[in-house]
């Protein structure tokens, strides 16, 4: 799934979850494929055929969770600080909770981050790949993603090295259904290398920082699998959705905090920043006017993949974390995003900014 730059291939957004590239033939899946199915398909995308890929089990979390102490909100400054960066060259080790391949680029976080950056007068360019951490640790990476309107950085088939592409940041994420055991525990299933989320991530970090010393590393804390909170029906009831969001801000978030702590302890000299996308989304969707948005305008299924509104909100959190400032207040939000967001845009941005300050992601 390589960007069409000279001989590179651009993925085609269709009604499915993943775009697979084999040699120079682009083919797609017309039926919806869920997150767990991608594990089976990934060796076709990025595996090297040597059997080193890890099959991640399809277990889901229990619906019981304890609510952690919420971060203390802070006052938003009258003017946010100068951006910490204005030119971003981003490589993403991701999956469909960052880039959901549909017939619209609006179900991807990079599309919206690029739009926000352009409106602010900044630049954003991106390459990336599908997979889970064990597959991503099968290095070097292979740039598969291409998104309408977003400039690419690196043609991995051209012979240019990753280091010569001069990426400024990487964004990586774990699967959203492995939080039933610690991040230091080896993956269940076929795991010949005894890889864990932490060990696979450290392999990626070590390789990337050897290629590009000083690069900033962002951990994208996504949102959990919803299937374990349902009774086989879709969409969830109000009670089920409440339990899901409680888990997102509770045990699920605690797993990510421990995961991030393991990474920073193991690599204290690297800049590793966790972006708490899932918990902030949960707060937006339960404690603000955005709670009025119908669930089917947010989520497509129980994986749960999102509609444009959800990815737009995730991109606001990601944009502020990377650029270190709020997006332009007059950003033109299209009608494909539920208009409750546009009607409450200032409040949405303020809440996100305050949460990121409280989490220590940005500086007020």
pLDDT in the model for residue 45: 30
Architecture label for domain 19-358 = 3-Layer(aba) Sandwich (3.40)
Structure tokens at 363: 């500086």
Q: Are 5 and 144 contacting, i.e. CB atoms less than 8 angstroms apart?
A: no
> Quick check: 327 pLDDT over 70?
yes
> Quick check: 131 pLDDT over 90?
yes
pLDDT in the model for residue 132: 98
Distances (CA, A) of 226 to 244, 301, 305: 7, 9, 10
pLDDT in the model for residue 129: 98
Q: What does the pLDDT average to over 12-24?
A: 35
Tokens 């990586």 map to which residue?
172
pLDDT in the model for residue 80: 52
Q: What does the pLDDT average to over 76-82?
A: 55
* Average pLDDT for the chain: 84
Left if phi > 0, otherwise alpha if psi is -120 to 50, otherwise beta: which for 178? alpha
Tell me the pLDDT band of 300, cut-offs 50, 70 and 90.
very high
Give the residue, 59 or 93, on which the prediction is more confident. Answer: 93
Q: Are 127 and 142 contacting, i.e. CB atoms less than 8 angstroms apart?
A: no
Contact residues for 101 (Cβ-Cβ < 8 A; gap 6+): 11, 13, 14, 16, 17, 18, 19, 28, 107, 108
Determine if the peptide bond prior to 362 is cis (ω within 30°). no
Percentage above 90 pLDDT, the chain: 77
End-to-end CA distance of the chain: 39
Q: How far apart are CA 273 and CA 283, in angstroms?
A: 20
Q: What does the pLDDT average to over 291-307?
A: 98
Q: What does the pLDDT average to over 292-301?
A: 98
pLDDT in the model for residue 82: 86
pTM of the model: 0.81
pLDDT in the model for residue 81: 66
Query: SS3 for 181?
Result: coil
Following DSSP, what letter does each residue of 24-79 receive, concatenated?
TEEEE-SS---HHHHHHHHHHHT--SSS---PPP-----S---PPPPPPP-PPPSS
Tens-place pLDDT, residues 235-249: 999 999 999 999 999
Q: Are 185 and 140 contacting, i.e. CB atoms less than 8 angstroms apart?
A: no
Tens-place pLDDT, residues 157-190: 999 999 999 999 999 999 999 999 999 999 999 9
Tell me the pLDDT band of 4, cut-offs 50, 70 and 90.
very low
Q: How far apart are CA 70 and CA 263, in angstroms?
A: 23
Q: How far apart are CA 298 and CA 285, in angstroms?
A: 10
Q: What does the pLDDT average to over 251-280?
A: 98
Nearest Cα to 354, choosing from 84, 80, 73? 73
Q: What does the pLDDT average to over 219-232?
A: 97
Domain boundaries, the chain: 19-358
Tens-place pLDDT, residues 139-157: 999 999 999 999 999 999 9
> Quick check: 44 pLDDT over 90?
no
């Amino acid at each position: 799934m390589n960007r069409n730059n000279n001989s590179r291939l651009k993925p085609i957004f269709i009604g499915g979850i993943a775009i697979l590239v084999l040699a120079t033939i682009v083919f797609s899946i017309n039926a919806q494929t869920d997150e767990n199915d991608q594990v089976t398909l990934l060796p076709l995308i990025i595996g090297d055929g040597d059997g080193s890929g890890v099959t991640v089990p399809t277990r889901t979390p229990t619906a019981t969770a304890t609510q952690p102490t919420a971060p203390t909100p802070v006052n938003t400054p009258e003017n946010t600080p100068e951006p910490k960066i204005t030119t971003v060259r981003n490589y993403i080790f991701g999956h469909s909770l960052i880039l959901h391949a549909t017939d619209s680029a609006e179900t991807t976080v990079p599309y919206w981050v690029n739009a926000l950056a352009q409106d602010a007068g900044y630049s954003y360019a991106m390459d990336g790949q599908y997979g889970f951490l064990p597959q991503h640790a099968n290095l070097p990476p292979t740039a598969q993603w291409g998104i309408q309107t977003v400039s690419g950085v690196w043609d991995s088939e051209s012979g240019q090295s990753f280091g010569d592409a001069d990426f400024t940041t990487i964004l990586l994420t774990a699967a959203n259904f492995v939080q039933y055991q610690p991040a230091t525990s080896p993956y269940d299933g076929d795991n010949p290398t005894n890889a864990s989320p932490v060990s696979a991530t450290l392999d990626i970090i070590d390789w990337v920082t050897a290629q590009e010393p000083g690069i900033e590393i962002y951990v994208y804390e996504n949102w959990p699998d919803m299937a374990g909170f349902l009774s086989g029906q879709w969409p969830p009831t109000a009670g089920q959705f409440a339990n899901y969001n409680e888990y997102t801000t509770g045990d699920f978030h605690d797993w990510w905090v421990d995961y991030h702590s393991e990474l920073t302890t193991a690599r204290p000299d690297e800049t590793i920043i966790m972006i708490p996308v899932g918990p902030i989304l949960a707060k937006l969707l339960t404690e603000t006017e955005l709670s009025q948005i119908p669930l089917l305008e947010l989520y497509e299924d129980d994986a749960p993949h999102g509609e444009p509104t959800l990815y737009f909100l995730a991109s606001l959190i990601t944009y502020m974390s990377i650029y270190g400032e709020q997006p332009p207040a007059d950003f033109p939000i299209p009608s494909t995003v539920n208009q409750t967001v546009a009607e409450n845009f200032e409040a949405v941005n303020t809440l996100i900014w305050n949460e990121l300050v409280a989490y220590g992601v940005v500086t007020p």
